[in-house]
Amino acid sequence: MPKSLVIVESPAKAKTINKFLGRNYVVKASLGHVRDLPVKKLAVDVEHNFKPQYEVIKGREKVVAELKKAAKASAAVFLAADPDREGEAICWHLAQELKGARRPVHRVLFNEITKRAVQQAFANPGKIDPRKVEAQQARRILDRLVGYKISPLLWEKVRRGISAGRVQSVALRLVVDREKEVRAFVPTEYWTVDARLAAGQPPEFTARLLKADGEKVRLPDQAAAAAAVAELERATFRVAHLATKERRRHPVPPFITSKLQQEAARKLGFTARKTMQVAQQLYEGIELGEEGAVGLITYMRTDSTRVSAEAVAEVRAYIVEKFGGAFLPETPPAYKSVRGAQEAHEAIRPTSVMREPGAVRASLTRDQLGLYTLIWNRFVASQMPPALFDVTTADIAAGRFLLRATGRVIRFPGFMRLYVEGTDEVPKRPPHETEEENANGEAAEAAELTLPPMREGEVLALRSVSPEQHFTQPPPRYTEATLVKELEERGIGRPSTYAAILSVIQNRDYVVKEKGKFVPLELGEIVVDLLLKSFPRIMDYEFTALMESRLDEIEEGKAEWLEEMHRFYHFFAKWLKEAKASMANIKAMEEETEERCEKCAAPMVIKWGRFGKFLACSTYPKCKATRELPRGNGDGATAEAAPPEAAPQSCEKCGRPMVLKKGRYGPFLACSGYPECRTVIRVDGGKRAAASPPEPTNEICEKCGAPMVIRTGRYGRFLSCSTYPKCKAIKPLPIGVDCPQCGAPLAQKRTKRGKPFYGCSTYPACTFALWDRPVPEPCPQCGAKFLVEKRKRGGEVTLKCAAEGCDYTKIPGALEPAAAPAS
């Protein structure tokens, strides 16, 4: 009897599913989409109902041929691509290609790759959903029309190789608009005043000046703060009002795609693309020893917070067993999904909560373990009760002033026993501009602080009064987490597309990341300005969100895809025609300057090139002299033309001065002897490295016996022979800690991308390496020879033991607890 053919997207998924189905099935992978619109032409017939001209993707011909052959030899074909629009489209294209096999075609859907889910799906096969296919096709054609019609305009007017996109250009606008806000921001000075007070019993505490004469206090400068301090130092401090309230902090829902991308960026430092890649691996299956390959999480492209009844029952039993009955709410928490969510899907959760992160650690990579732990903790915590706090607010009268101290003590940790959601950067504002209580009813200044026992009317002792200067801060630039959050809140794009969007705007040289934050490049700003003038509706946030909702309505059967296409293209064709005539030609623009060409003395002009603006001889092509043009003062204006700035540093190879230049990846130091000498040095953070002459050391060169010196190169500081370039011996700079494997010194090194790590100086003979900086301090708990620094995002540093199985942790500078007396 012939077997049935099952087609999935990836070999990893095929391997996991194959073991669940038995001998009557053969599982093959399509390697994703097998058909698409061809790359080299529009391939959409706008005159005949936007008929797409699909073809087999280049390089997939062999895959399609093998699938056709397998289909003809099968009893039936089961299409088991992912349960979303893209998965449905993959199935539809496969069905079109396999028509010649004349075999029954079934669609199977499962939200997790486990034996129960897979077998249940194959026992109840369905058909391809035409509405999902139409929604995906509408999105694909819309994106093709916008990209392939507008991008050539940008090639003609700005530079070849760049692109526009229906969603990518709007995401770029968000980054550019935020940068304009940052540039336009004018910091405002303000001061705060804190009083250190003592009641009849410890501890001492701090109260902040809140009101003067019944109004919120405003201290705009040092003089106002000094006057308030002088008056407070003479005042009597008395407890005017005490209030203790119970506050609840509720758990957050289990992950949806966008929230997973945000939290992985905050806590693991993952890009959105990396998050989705690692999540795909966890979903498709991991080898777990005797258990074999099994999917560890449910499908990771979802906007629903729904959880199956079976999963809720399992996690509730787990919570009782591991944490006790006090940590189990009477009824399972219910969460609202975002508007338009596909409730047929579940939230992202572990396929079995019984697979604790620690139990599967040995089978996972570091990245897989980090993401799985995040998903597992969040899901379990989402089914636990709220955390309870006692929030005490003390209002303290001091003459005409009112000060406030707030303490918050955890009474019951609830879900926080396991998980607390990360936060994003929030700019500081003066006290008179902030709310006294936040949305959760918690005091804005609440912290893990215990106030001493006090009573109303009690007089407090003043220990000190401290004024502090502050400045308001501009809105923070977007990070991966906050840009995804902004796209989600505005309804721009869909969670499954965020990773690709963020990658494209970087790959097109529109934005760069500086310290994890998106900063637009000049090219990105020019593209946004041009598109805003010529295609204001395409670049409009609300219009883009409206288009997304239309695609959702097509999938839900509430709208017809052809009607929506005709409605959109009717206006788009007009915008396109007007843009071709009116869009500014950046390539042809020339701006006169007072600079003179060094070669022929003709006037220099500012032109636009591949890497931005530059100075060129006005007699081009007769004279081809060019020169770097420094950027302006941050407002986008160009500074007065000047030659490349000389750097106070000499070339290590030829001794000539280094000059500061700007390239595709930012500024760099280059030898002024170019092209005879091509020495370049990367400049980190966009700032020129300070001149640092070689530092003498007591080290001796192993090759020639000369003294070694410390130099600074593109990957950090290192030891180099003082006779360089005569002797080119180098070695890493030791950090005072020896390798636990071979005893050789450990040294700080850098990856090709500049990320520091600490590895054995004898590499490749010894491959020991750490990401965290070793500290020459032995572990008092297990005797390990060193501890490592752990740095949190807020700047907090702790020391931890790196030895496996040892959980010793300490805060630098803290005293060790006294040893317990022997019993």
pLDDT (tens digit per residue) in 180-203: 999 999 999 999 999 999 999 999
What is the Cα–Cα distance from 551 to 548, expressed in whole angstroms? 5
Look at residue 630 and tell me whether its pLDDT is greater than 60.
Answer: no
> For 555-563, what is the mean pLDDT?
94
pLDDT digits (tens, 9 = 90+) for 199-216: 999 999 999 999 999 999
Q: What are phi and psi of 316, to 5 degrees?
A: -65, -40
pLDDT band at 632 (very low <50, low <70, confident <90, very high): very low
Residue 422: predicted pLDDT = 87
| Amino acid identity, position 115 | K
Residue 576: predicted pLDDT = 95
> For 787-816, what is the mean pLDDT?
70
C-alpha distances out from residue 629 to 183, 585, 646, 661, 696, Å: 21, 20, 14, 9, 37
What is the Cα–Cα distance from 709 to 763, expressed in whole angstroms? 21
Bridging pattern class, strands 707-713 and 695-700: antiparallel
pLDDT band at 760 (very low <50, low <70, confident <90, very high): confident
C-alpha distances out from residue 287 to 350, 360, 754, Å: 15, 10, 33
Beta-carbon contacts of 757 under 8 Å, excluding residues fewer than 6 positions away, are 748, 749, 750, 751, 769, 770, 771
The DSSP bridge partners found for residue 437 are 443
**Which run of H or E residues covers position 155?**
helix 130-157
> For 249-278, what is the mean pLDDT?
94
Residue 660: predicted pLDDT = 66
Residue 707: predicted pLDDT = 82
C-alpha distances out from residue 454 to 200, 202, 236, 399, 409, Å: 8, 10, 16, 19, 16
**Which run of H or E residues covers position 660?**
strand 657-663
pLDDT band at 649 (very low <50, low <70, confident <90, very high): low
pLDDT digits (tens, 9 = 90+) for 68-109: 999 999 999 999 999 999 999 999 999 999 998 899 999 999
Picking from 100, 123, 101, the residue whose alpha carbon sits closest to that of residue 110 is 123
- Highest average pLDDT, of 172-181, 284-293, 440-449, comes from 172-181
Look at residue 754 and tell me whether its pLDDT is greater than 90.
Answer: no
Residue with tokens 């991966």: 480
What is the Cα–Cα distance from 72 to 612, expressed in whole angstroms? 56
Least confident span in 200-204, 490-494, 715-719 = 715-719
HSE-up of residue 202 (Cα within 13 Å, Cβ side): 1
- Active centre residues (catalytic): 299
pLDDT digits (tens, 9 = 90+) for 290-343: 888 899 999 999 988 999 999 999 999 999 999 999 999 999 998 887 665 555
What is the Cα–Cα distance from 734 to 250, expressed in whole angstroms? 49
Residue with tokens 């020339």: 590
pLDDT digits (tens, 9 = 90+) for 24-44: 999 999 989 999 999 889 999
Look at residue 146 and tell me whether its pLDDT is greater than 70.
Answer: yes
Residue 437: predicted pLDDT = 43
Least confident span in 226-235, 659-668, 752-761, 771-780 = 659-668
What is the Cα–Cα distance from 823 to 364, expressed in whole angstroms? 43
Q: Is pLDDT larger for residue 802 or for residue 239? A: 239
